[in-house]
Every structure is written in structure tokens, then in C-alpha cells.
Amino acid sequence: MFQENLHYPCMNNIATDFPAEIESSNKKRWHLALATIYCSRAFKTAYNSDYSSLAKLVKDKNVDELANLGGVQGVAASLKSDTTNGVSGDLEDVACRDEAFGSNMYRKAPAKSFFIFVWESFKYPTIIILLIWGALSIVFGIKEDGLKEGWCDGGGIYVAVLLFITVSSITRFRQNRQFDKLSKVSKIIQVEVVRKERRQQISIFEIVVGDVICLKIGDQVPADGILVEGHSLQVDESSMTGESDRVEINLAQNPFLISGTKVVDGYGMMLVTSVDMNTTWGEMMSEISSDYNEHTPLQELLEKLTSSIDKVGWLVALLVLVVQLVKYFTGTTKDENGNKEFNGSKTSSVDVINVVVGSVANAVVIVVVTIPEGLPLAVTLTLAYLMKRMMDDKAIVRKLSACETMGSPTTICTDKTGTLTLNKMIVTKFFLGKGHVKEESHTSISAEVLELFHQGVGLNTTGSVFKSSYPCSSFEFSGSPTEKAILSWAKKKSGVLIKNITDGTIHAHWKGAAEMISRMCSHYYDLEGNVKPLEHSDKEECDRIIEGMAASSLRCIAFAHKQVPKAEQEDHEHMHGNVPDNSLILLGFVGLKDPSRPGMKKAVEDCHSNRMWDSEMHAKMLEVDEGAVIEGEEFRSLTDEERMERVEKICVIARSSPFDKLLMVQCLRKKGHVVAVTGDGTNDAPALKEADIGLSMGIQGTEVAKECSDIVILDAKFASVVTILKWGRCFYINILKFIQFQLTANVAALMINFVAAVSSGEVPLTAVQLLWVNLIMDTLGAFALATEKPTEEVMKKKPVGRTAPLITNIMWRNLMAQALYQIAVLLTLQFKGELIFGFNKRVNDTLFFNTFVLCQAFNEFNVRSMEKKNVFEGIQKNKLFMGIIGITLVLQVVMVEFLKKFANTERLNWGQWGICIGFAAASWPIGWLVKCITVPERPIFSCFM
């Protein structure tokens, strides 16, 4: 195909030069590669000027230079394209054009390497403190115990820090790569091009120089190019120039289209002249990194919480340091023999330094155990998991902040067409004039009237029809759903789509909303082709036909026609006159049906409140009360007070304008609602942008709508909106679970270390052990709790309001109960463990450490459900959770039994392991009892919000 279309004789010889032993697949690859080289040279030779000058032509909008090149037809010919039929679109053709002119993909800033994340991990305050402390531990350890044993404590700190940094860096590096992957998917835009003499959908990245692109309202111009033909085409170039004024695109004064701009009115066809880095948009976007560094409101809130906890930790650490030093220097502390440790000048400076260093070590341990480094990581992990799962459910997240808000909407505003319905229009009724025409009786229509109908359907449209030359192939219709439905219906009835007028007369054709078109008519055609006056009684009959179709959930479209008088023909031929819009002859009505989506009604019922913008007659789809339906014109005419009073009672706004939709969203937000809006058209953009969360429906939605939205729902189903709400609430709940889990451990560890340090002068957990606990809490805990899937119960709860506290009363109840239990058990082990169980100090310390870790692992079961008493319900469905718990327990066994020197532990026997497990498992019945306690809804401890 490529050789025949472009007539490159050199390519006919390529295929004959391959040896017979080369396999067919390799032969094709070599053929394509060599063909690309030859074609690339041919393209550049055919285009006399340098390709960069053509790109400059469009950027500079040089009309005179375009004329010198022969206009758009001359440029198309030099690019081996056709303004009507486009390029051939064969693999060889596309490959040649990519080689000669580049592909439509701009170069991006390089992604962060793994070592960047490692370096960022070293900047954590906790890590810096531990690195310094590790160095000091090695120096003092070697000085006191010698080289063989003295390096162990400091070396253990370094090993633990290295492990922590490695796990953290790998996790964040993987999530960043996942964000990049999802970002690429979200940038995929489908455009309509003409290839092989037919319209077809391709990705924006597949566009090549020479393609003919079809543009309509709401589209983003995908590359630089020149207008081929169009009508009333206007674009918004604010993304490139910063000016908000609309720019008119026409063949005479300004035929140039710049990539990245948006079509705001009209339609047209453009010839692509520049792609990728040769466009202004490509140059600009190459300077912008696509890294997902956006900080969501929840992350900022968590950073404030972390900052508050940090301050508490430093304050307690300073208090411990001061108390210990005061007790030492006042002679309160005693050594093993009962003597005072500090005796003024009699005490050696070495002993004083050792005590001071030990006190600082205790303070460091308290800081390490207090700072919740895992909170930001937990949000990142949860966001990554959520975005991946939502991608599986046909939803692309464009803005990370939407992940938090989408679980909170109290009101959903949605369009009917394409969301509650299939957006696949079909013609089900046809009226010629006032007479109903059945499918089997179309032959009774006058041939003259039928011909006029064909012209009205075939010529007055932005859609098209293609019929392949292959046997038994069917017609392909393109355009909007309404256009495709009308074209499909006309083809089936008459077999003719377009027929040019040959008698020299000019006819005006109109189609549109039936009630508007009928008011423009003064006459109508009957079945025999006679023109009759449209009397008052006839208009009433037409109104009944229109209302009857609307009552049957049909979209009623009217067609009208008028022959232009001879006196006005010359004026219209030179395009100086407007299309006549009065005294028309009514051709007839067609009724288009858009079937409801399966499961739509249940999905709507799952959402407790929603607004629908469409025809008043479709209110019965939701079975709303009559008072809940209002016309858009009536809604906008209300006073501010009346509108605010009625806004929460309205369920359907019929025939609403973009301003009506925006006004509805603004009123609802003023009432305190968290508003979600679904839409797919340019007219939905203002409401999508104003809403708390904008949901653009369908990959076929306009780019303007997608640009103003937070999430793109690929399948355009309203049921997917419900799924997204579930995931949104699940995301927020999972974050709250992790906050409860981490704060429980933080509160318990802080209090235990504080009491132990003040009373006995030493902390029960070493720096290495605390790093290990932090690793479990931060990484493994976040993984376990972030993977909980949404359940049906989440939709039964009230949405999270704007002023909801970050830590609820239920969370306070749960975490304080578990923290107090852990404090009681662990302090008992710390001070009385040796006496109660008869263990030596090293075994008792190991028992303390093991019990503390197991309490956190077992508490993860309690945290899985903050309100349900049965913490094991549905746990078999989350295999990842069970796997992570299993990994945690295995690693703890390794830590205790095999890393004695590294972790400063002693091996435990079966009985001692049973004691640890028994203490940890007791948190389950305690959790069950605590959940029996009812707490008020009014938030407490608001300072932690």
C-alpha cells in the first residue's frame, strides 16, 4: 500500500534483496527499517524547504509565506498527504513520517533516580541524630570495651539505619515509578483523524505530520497545523499566551492552529505540520517535570500532626535529660553497692562523661521512638495502592487531592446522557409533518420530500459515514451520538446519505430541538409532498407529538427546510447572508432513545442525594417528587434567598445552561455540602472546576472537561461513581487506621521510656530495637493497613464533613485503651519481670522487647476495624494483610533468636514465647470490651486535628 500510494520505485527493489533463509518476521522488520530510511529521505527531498521552517511558519502565523508555499493544499502535497482523505496510515507510512519529522511525544525531565531517594532519606532529623549517636557509641564503646566488643552497639545502630533507609527508599522509589506510569496513562488523549479515506480514533501520541485531524468543541489541539476547512472555529490560546480572549480561526486571515490550545466553538479539519519538540507546547512541556510531588490537604494535615508530636517528643526528651542530670549531680542516684554515684571532685571526669553520655542516649531513644516518620510514607503507599486499584476499576486520578475528597461528597450532580444512559442514541419514531410514519410504510412518502429529508440529514451534520470495500462490511458512523443515530437511521431507511442539488436552487436546512424548530416554521409537508399552512391547531398537534416523545423518554429532533428565493440566491452563494430562520417548512420529527445503563437505578439509590441536569420528563428515572423538578430558566430567575431555600430540595434541573449548573454547585457549597459533579462536555467545565471533586465521564469526553476534572471515569458509568466513592472513603479510613495504629505505639513507647528513664535512669529499649519497631510500624504496618478493600458498610456511613477532626473520638477511645494496656504490662515487666518470672536481666529485657513488638503486630487486627467487635471478619479476603503479619512475625523471630549481638537480645524458650504471645493476644478481648463503650460524636482533643 505504501509503495503504491507514495510511488517510491526504490522500495520495490528492497524486498527482493533479502536472502531466502531469513525468516519472514525478520524480513518484515528489515523491510520496514530500510523502507523508513528511504521514505524519510524522500519526504525531506519532497519538501523543498527545511522542515524547521514549516514549524516556524505556524509558530509565526505567517500568512504570506503560506501563500508562497501554495496554501494548505501545497503544504499537504509536499507532505504526501491529502486534505480530504488524509494519509495512508500504513505501518511503513507512519514509521517513515516518525523518522522524518519525529513522533508526537515531548521529552520530559528525567525521573528521580533511586539514589536521590536514598539521599533524601538521610535528611530525616531522626536519621541524622542516629548517625551522630552511632559514631559516638562506637568511639566510647571501643574506649571502654575495646575494639573487639566496643563497636557492636554503634555498628548495630548503623546497620539498623541502613536497613531502614534501604526499605524506605525502595518503597518510595517504586511508588514514584508507579505514579509516573499512572500519570502517562492519564495524559492519553484520543483524537479523530482521517486515514485511509475514513475517520478513526487514535492516541494523541500516534499523530504524525500530514495527518488530517477532526476538531470539535472541547477538543485540545494535539499538534501544530493549518486549517483545512471549518465553520465558526474559535480557540482558547490562554494556555500558551495567557490571554483569555477567544481567537477566531479561518482560512483567510488566521488558518494556524497551535498545539495545547482548546476549541471553544465551531468545528474544523486541520493538517498537522509539526509534532513533538517542534511545537511550542512540546518545548514548554519538556521543561516541566511530571513528578507527583503534589502535597494533598491530608498530607499537610498529617505534617502538622507529626510536627506537634515531634515537639512533644523533644520536650519529653529534654525533660528526661534534665531530670537525670539533676538527680546525678545532686547525689540522688546510687551505684550497685548503694553508694552515691556523684561525690563532687572525688568523682572522675570519665565517670561524669559516661553518665552524661548515657543520659543523652536515653533522650535520643525517646526522640526516636516519638517521631512518627511513617505517617507521610503511609499516605504515599495508600495513594499508590488506591490509584492502582482505581485504574483497574476504570478511573484515572488526575489530582492526588481528589483521593481524599472523593470519599466525602454529600451531594452528587450528574448529567443524564452518557452517565445514567448508554449514550448510544437510536431513532425509534419518525413523524413526517404531523403524520406518524411506520418503518414498513416509508415507501408511501413523496420522493421529493424524502429527498429533502436526505439532504437535511446528510448535509446538515458534522458526522460522517464510511463503507469499507470489503464484502459484507457494515457502515461506520462517526460524530456525536445524536449525529450518529440520525445518520444511521437515514441510511437504513433510504440507502442514500448525501445528494447534491443539481437544478441550481439553494435550500436552507435546519435541525435541532423540536420545540425550537417548530416555532420557526409556518408550513409543513404532508405524506404526499403537499405544503400546507401550519395553523394554530396544527401547532398544538406538533406540541402534543413533542410532549408524547418526551414522556416516552425520547429526545425529539425536528427537521425543517426552505428554498431560498431567487432574489436572495446570489447573496447566499457569496456567503454574505445568514441561513433563513423563519417561514420554514417543517419536514418532520424523529425520536431518539438513549437506553438506561444496566444497574443505573441501584447505583443512584446507593447515593443518598443527587442532582441531575437534563429533561424534565426524565425525572421518573429517579422517581422524584414533582416539586423536586425545576426548569433551568426558572432556577436562574429565583432570588438569592429563594434559591438558597430551595436548592437542597431540587433533584432535577431541566434544560439547564452551564451557568445554571455552576450556580447550583455554588449554592450547594454555600450550604455546607461537599459537592461532586460528573460531566463530559465543555458546558460542564465551569461546574466541574467549581465542585469539590470533578468527575469527567468517558475517554470520549472533551479535553476541556477533563482539564477541569480531578478524576476521569473511563467507562462513563454512574455505577463507577459509586465505586469511586467507596474507594475514597476506604482510602480515608485506611489512613485513620494507620494513624490510630502508630499513635498507639508512640504513646505507649513514649510513656514507658519516660517513666523508666526518670525512675531507673535507663530506657528499656535500645536504639537498634526502636529502629526495628519503627521499621515495622512505618513500612510493614502501612502496607498491611493500606491494602484493606472497601466494603458495603462504608457507603452506609455519613460522609466526612469539611470540619471533621483527623483523630475522632472512636480513635481516641481505641488507642488510649490499647496504649494504657501496653504501658501497664510493659512497665510491670520492666520493674517486676525478674521477680515474677525469675528470669535474669538480659532475658527479661528480651521478653520486654518481644512483647512490645508482638503487641503492635496483634494490635493491627484491632485497628482493621475501628468499630466492629469481630476483628477477624473478612480477614480471609485480604491475603496481603495476613502475609505482612506473617512476615513481621518471622522477622521478629529472626531478630530475637539469631541476631543476639546485633539486637542485644537473648534466645527465648517456648514458655517465654508463650508469655509474650499471651500478653499480645490479650489486646483482642480488651479491644472487644472497649468497643462496647459508646463515645459522643462531638470531637475532643481538637488540638491534634
For residue 224, give the DSSP letter: E
Cell numbers found for residue 849: 522487647
For residue 574, give the DSSP letter: T
Cell numbers found for residue 384: 499508590
* C-alpha closest to that of 675 among 661, 693, 662, 653: 693
Cell numbers found for residue 926: 480488651
Strands 675-679 and 411-415: parallel
Distances (CA, A) of 310 to 125, 306, 794, 907: 10, 6, 33, 34
For residue 576, give the DSSP letter: -
What radius of gyration, in Å, describes the C-alpha atoms of the chain? 37
Cell numbers found for residue 93: 507510512
Residue 43 backbone phi and psi in degrees, to 5: -60, -45
CA distance 137 to 155: 8
Residue 50 in 3-state DSSP? Answer: coil
| Block residue for cell numbers 505507649 | 748
Contact 212, 269 (CB under 8 A): yes
Angle between helices 767-775 and 841-864 (to 10 degrees): 20
Cell numbers found for residue 396: 484515572
415 part of the active site: yes
Q: At 25, which amino acid appears?
A: S
The string of DSSP codes covering 588-654 is EEEEEE-PBPTTHHHHHHHSS-EEEES-GGGGGGTT--GGGEEEHHHHHHS-HHHHHHHTTT--EEE
| Block residue for cell numbers 533463509 | 21
Cell numbers found for residue 218: 472541547
| Block residue for cell numbers 503511609 | 378
CA distance 736 to 738: 5
CA distance 711 to 269: 29
CA distance 88 to 366: 71
Contact 239, 41 (CB under 8 A): no
Of the CA atoms within 13 Å of residue 388, those in its CB half-sphere come to 17
| Block residue for cell numbers 486499584 | 389
Contact 249, 230 (CB under 8 A): yes
What's the sign of the alpha-carbon dihedral 561, 566, 571, 575? positive
| Block residue for cell numbers 526502636 | 770
Vertex 551, ends 546 and 556: CA angle to 5°? 35
CA distance 71 to 65: 9
Contact 583, 522 (CB under 8 A): yes
Greatest CA separation for the chain:
127
Distances (CA, A) of 735 to 265, 858, 864, 931: 44, 18, 11, 20
Residue tagged active-site, from 82, 211, 219, 415: 415
* C-alpha closest to that of 545 among 445, 457, 456, 436: 436
* C-alpha closest to that of 93 among 161, 226, 2: 2
What amino acid positions are annotated as catalytic residues? 415
